[in-house]
A and B are shown apart, each in its own frame.
Chain A
């Protein structure tokens, strides 16, 4: 038998105008945890999608146990024992755990479902691998970490031996991450072979045996994790030395720019998505709202910017009550907003870059003269922002926003929002989906704005980002602010407990 359970040799995959995988070779040993590391857009997901049969490679071959195989679709992959947990779970919300696990491979007799055997097998697997679940709970009622276990059980139920995890920790709390790491090690010990897509180096250090690094579609190399330090892996990933710690001095907060008093936002089922929240943000500080996705942080920001009506409470901007003020008047009064969803809110994708950069000031002189847009001025503003913020695009200000890369779209939004010289900047997940270079750049910009006396309210789901930037941390859980912590003296574990709702403190 071959030493490797799966070998992907010389895989090449082209998309229009771009080579996503360029002669990549990846060899997976039996029973190992193999990390696949690379920045966003390095070709990790493409490579795994080829292995799972979602794409066909344009060149190269796949071998299982030394035998050449063809994977034309996910059914082929399943027959070969290859399973995948996607970043976004593929679960039917109103089915039970058991129903989700057997979906597609139900055992039937005379056209009727026979769940007894299935239940027995699921419970056996659950015991064997330490994946505690309640088979009769509905997916919509269980936590994200639990849903991930269901996904893992789905693979095990199909007797898969090669398990692919696509950025599995993105949606988990620190405690759930630890639990997942334990489960992965258990699976490997039981003989399963694991491929683990990530861009988080600490996780690789924690669980992986070997690590394959991709950069811009090409293979950089495969290393033994035990013999390689984090800095080296980072350098392999980015292609140059990376300084993760940005320069940030002690905050010197001034007067309060934004005051929120007892703010509530109504939800769908009579329960408030934001509940009696009070806090303030002062000049020269970065306040971070930390929490697991879906705990009311989006609604809070939409309420502050005026996009969502509030139920009760008060919003005070620079001493003025803006609770009833229009979006435009808040913007003009010094509120900037880097929105969570840059395609839905941040950009008019079919406008060109220049017009997008003018979205917040097209109505103010000198952009406008007697109701007519001063296009040379719009162009000058665009050219200025493009060079100051290093926004890269095919045709400069005339590029359609849609055709730009995510990182450059985000840079454009940040440039626009900073350009209006705000007093308070609401930044929601400003680095989501961006590569390390763009991320560091954006972090530096936020710190720079803080040092110029702006107030910054940051919403982040990434703990690294929270600790990197926050002067103060407000933890949000189910619409309530459950803790106010210092950015310096808090540990990830502590923050995780608050985020998961298992600890609360009386807020000031």
Chain B
């Protein structure tokens, strides 16, 4: 009961952030093209529904990687760390899974994509673990290492692609993975499609969304039910008390970053184990946006794995809606700005919430220092 109330009040902070972000977005729409502004807002809110069932499928498809990176950032948050390196972990994980997907064709068909996915996860774990090792053993701030490793990861991936048989020079991207390495559709293409004339135009959605939701549930169980999760949360909330209780802080930091990296690695695998018309790793000097969107998803979801499923779906929903803004003569960058606004406001709302909570706490503290027994005791 108490817990539910708390959850609701937390969710209301996120909802407020979203409303404020949408309002700011509306103002931007008004400025750039007043005539279509209201319809533009409706289009954004309609999201996937703008394009029927296919649109909805696309929402699930786009939500998949950002749910994973959201989990990655959120999990690190719970252990008191800011994983800003999800983009790099995603690239490394994606690359390794593509490599396995193309070359390990000796694997039996139904195992191939699973192994490719797991290897991508493993690669992400290694990439995340480096950050954890630096922090735990050398006390280097994780924000600095993970930002730097983003670029190291990106250039390493670009270099490896260009200098290998994985490269498709015509498209300046990776070649296609073996058919057996493609993430299965899981029957979702039979559900999410629109008909164009006599043709079925199916969404790109695949079983990845189930995998992402599965990971969210797994992370939720780890955090709330296991001693491991208890230790990680204790370290995140008060590392001094955790040491005092005999918890190895170093181990917690290293394993938390490894897991965060692994989750981002899975995001990469789910993105790039795709058919030839799906996503490929482009050789360009751009960090994967999904890595950074994960920060917004985690912030809006207050790092709660279940919350992250919903905020991931929401961000994908308005992104899909934004694509349709173009038909109203808006530039598609506008939607990026609006999402940026929502992210900004979500961070801001957390600040406000922490500020309010901090102030209430300080007042309670000063009242406690200065006055009679504090409320809890006074009630009795």
Structural contact, A18 and B376, CB atoms closer than 8 A: no
Q: What chain B residues lie within 8 Å of A351 (beta carbons)? A: 233-234, 237
| Chain A residue at minimum C-beta to C-beta distance from B6 | A400
Known contacts A371-B227, A371-B228; A348 and B234 CB within 8 A of each other = yes
How far is it, in angstroms, between the C-alpha of A64 and the C-alpha of B226 when the chains are bound?
63
Q: Per DSSP, are chain B's interface residues mostly helix, strand or loop, or mixed?
A: helix
Interface residues of B in 365-380 (CB under 8 A from A): 366-380
Closest Cβ of chain A: how far from B115's Cβ, in Å? 26
How far is it, in angstroms, between the C-alpha of A307 and the C-alpha of B239 when the chains are bound?
12
Stretch of B144-152, B345-353, B356-364 at the chain-chain interface: B356-364
Known contacts A17-B375, A20-B372, A392-B380; A350 and B237 CB within 8 A of each other = yes
How far is it, in angstroms, between the C-alpha of A216 and the C-alpha of B380 when the chains are bound?
14
Known contacts A20-B371, A372-B225; A349 and B378 CB within 8 A of each other = no
Closest Cβ of chain A: how far from B375's Cβ, in Å? 4
Q: What chain A residues lie within 8 Å of B240 (beta carbons)? A: 344-345
Stretch of B130-138, B241-249, B265-273, B305-313 at the chain-chain interface: B241-249
How far is it, in angstroms, between the C-alpha of A15 and the C-alpha of B363 when the chains are bound?
8
Closest Cβ of chain B: how far from A364's Cβ, in Å? 10
A173 an interface residue at 8 Å Cβ cutoff?
Answer: no
| Contact pick for A307, options B228, B244, B380, CB 8 Å | B244
How far is it, in angstroms, between the C-alpha of A373 and the C-alpha of B234 when the chains are bound?
14
Structural contact, A398 and B2, CB atoms closer than 8 A: yes
Structural contact, A18 and B367, CB atoms closer than 8 A: yes
| Chain A residue at minimum C-beta to C-beta distance from B235 | A348
Q: What chain A residues lie within 8 Å of B379 (beta carbons)? A: 394
| Contact pick for A359, options B2, B234, B360, B380, CB 8 Å | B234
Structural contact, B226 and A371, CB atoms closer than 8 A: yes
Q: How many A-B residue pairs have CB under 8 A?
A: 138
Q: Interface size bucket, A side?
A: 35 or more
Q: What chain B residues lie within 8 Å of A337 (beta carbons)? A: 244
How far is it, in angstroms, between the C-alpha of A344 and the C-alpha of B242 when the chains are bound?
10
A262 an interface residue at 8 Å Cβ cutoff?
Answer: no
Q: What chain A residues lie within 8 Å of B376 (beta carbons)? A: 392-394, 399, 403-405, 408
Q: What chain B residues lie within 8 Å of A19 (beta carbons)? A: 371-372
Structural contact, A328 and B238, CB atoms closer than 8 A: no
Known contacts A15-B366, A16-B364, A373-B225; A348 and B242 CB within 8 A of each other = yes
Closest Cβ of chain A: how far from B314's Cβ, in Å? 27
Interface residues of A in 370-428 (CB under 8 A from B): 371-373, 375, 392-395, 398-399, 402-408
Interface residues of A in 30-62 (CB under 8 A from B): 41-43, 45-46, 49, 55
| Chain B residue at minimum C-beta to C-beta distance from A416 | B245
How far is it, in angstroms, between the C-alpha of A42 and the C-alpha of B374 when the chains are bound?
11
Q: What chain B residues lie within 8 Å of A45 (beta carbons)? A: 369-370
Structural contact, B234 and A405, CB atoms closer than 8 A: no
Structural contact, B370 and A20, CB atoms closer than 8 A: yes
Q: What chain A residues lie within 8 Å of B228 (beta carbons)? A: 371
B38 an interface residue at 8 Å Cβ cutoff?
Answer: no
- Provide 29 A-B residue pairs closer than 8 Å at the C-beta atoms, listed in order of the A residue: A15-B371, A17-B364, A18-B372, A18-B374, A19-B372, A41-B369, A41-B373, A41-B374, A45-B370, A216-B373, A217-B372, A307-B243, A327-B243, A330-B246, A344-B241, A346-B241, A348-B234, A348-B242, A349-B237, A349-B238, A350-B238, A351-B233, A371-B227, A371-B228, A372-B225, A373-B225, A392-B380, A405-B368, A405-B374
